Amino acid sequence: MKPYGYKTTCTFFISGTNDLVCCTFSIFADAGSIGVNYGRIANNLPSAVKVVQLLKSQGLERVKVFDTDPAVLKALSRSKIKVTVDLPNELLYSVARKQSFAYSWVQRNVAGYHPDTQIEAVAVGNEVFVDPHNTTKFLLPAMRNIQKALVKYNLDSSIKVSSPIALSALQNSYPSSAGSFRPELVETVFKPMLDFLRQTGSYLMVNAYPFFAYESNSDVISMDYALFRENPGVVDAGNGLRYFNLFDAQIDAVFAAMSALKYDDVKIVVTETGWPSKGDENEIGASVENAAAYNGNLVRRILTGGGTPLRPKADLTVYLFALFNENKKIGPTSERNYGLFYPDEKRVYDIPFTLEGLSHYKDKTPPVSAGQQVSTPISDRGVSKSSSANTWCIANAEVGREKLQNALDYACGEGKADCHPIQAGSSCYEPNSIEAHASYAFNSFYQKNKRAMGSCDFSGAAFVVSQPPRFGQCEFPTGY
């Protein structure tokens, strides 16, 4: 899966800038790999032959397609581009029910093109657990039947079988160390599927979109944290690891969920990730600048090697979504604007896809208008630098009552927070809950310490928000 490439011996940020500085490069055989999703829900795209020429001109050596269109697979023949093909959700029932159907599908759509077209994986279905047609029960039988068909045609040693899952398959994803799969899927799907992946030497396909998490939680997740820019990081209270980007945190939540089921040896390939360059008014964060920053910094993150905090040796293969803007996709405006290229093959924004291109790449932070006050958005359950006083510290109820009580005791005692307003009969006693009282005390400590980095942590029991907290009629101070 991993191309021969380079890996940095160190990577760090220059304080006060958004520039990553990569130190000396050394030859390294296990660098990460970048691919791209080639979706075609559009009526204005170039021919498959031109698309293959575009991929090669950009140095993209991996592509994932959502079907087995003959024109596409023929165009990819002898291109040396590795291909992941998809068996659509609509065919899961037929493939699961009849081995003969699986044989004919593999013969026609895989064996008929390989090895001239270098098919390296079959994605059986796509995000099946959220498929409204209730195809989950057919997934494992379909995967097994496709595998049997690959064995029949002597392709099982070179082609892997898996199925992309969405992060909604997780019951818990924060903090990453608490990652777990949805309970109703554990025994029926995930354990047997992970067994299958282990036995066949395959990997779990994961679709991860930090954009969705940021869009829904922009009041607590820092834009810098979402876009791989400089930030103080977020400490996972469960394992003590510090995260500097949301992507790593999401992937480690999946690794943790697998580890909880004793499948630490199964690898992950990120089959979709991306950021839209345009969105509706309520799609916070969708812009050309942010899309360029996310994808450009992600490429650098992957190609310069190194795994995640939980799996530091797990260099990742990541497929960007998507090659083109697709004008016939339904849904919000963002759905039609994930493309790296316009249909005329012009770039939507300029980012590299290779190590050579990275040597000249610089993340372009949007300029700030003169006189405009800007505060850095707050990182996911953590602290970041801010030029504005309008941030508050509140309790993280997810750590449990005991941790909150211990942190509250510290804040009101040794921490010398002003806890008089949360005493019985005082202005902030109601609501009389541990979360409300702890939030007031944590915020008092945070403000008294001038919102210094690390002053809103309490071993993971607190995090910063950029909107005024609301607990009854109590008003939280913003400074002392």
Q: Measured between alpha carbons, how far is 135 from 122 in angstroms, rounded to an integer?
A: 17
**Which residue in 230, 272, 283, 326 is the catalytic one?**
272
Q: Is 215 a catalytic residue?
A: no
How far apart, in Å, are the Cα atoms of 293 and each of 19, 286, 289? Answer: 11, 11, 6
Q: What are the DSSP calls for 362-379, one per residue?
A: ---PPPPPTT----PPPP
**Given the structure tokens 């921490």, which residue do they identify?**
415
Q: Is 356 a catalytic residue?
A: no
Pairing outcome for strands 392-395 and 462-465: antiparallel
Helix (H, G, I), strand (E, B) or coil at 143: helix
What's the 3-state SS for 218-281?
CCCCCHHHHCCCCCCCEECCCCCCEECCHHHHHHHHHHHHHHHCCCCCCEEEEEEECCCCCCCC
Q: Which residues contact 134 (CB under 8 A, 6 or more apart)?
A: none
Q: Which helix (H) or strand (E) holds 160?
A: strand 160-162
**Given the structure tokens 């505060």, which residue do they identify?**
375
**What per-residue string of b and e applies to 190-223 under the rule 16 or more CB within 10 Å gives b?**
beebbebbeebebbbbbbbbbbbbbbebbebbbb
**Which residue in 127, 215, 230, 283 is the catalytic one?**
127
The residues annotated with a catalytic role in the active site are 127, 272
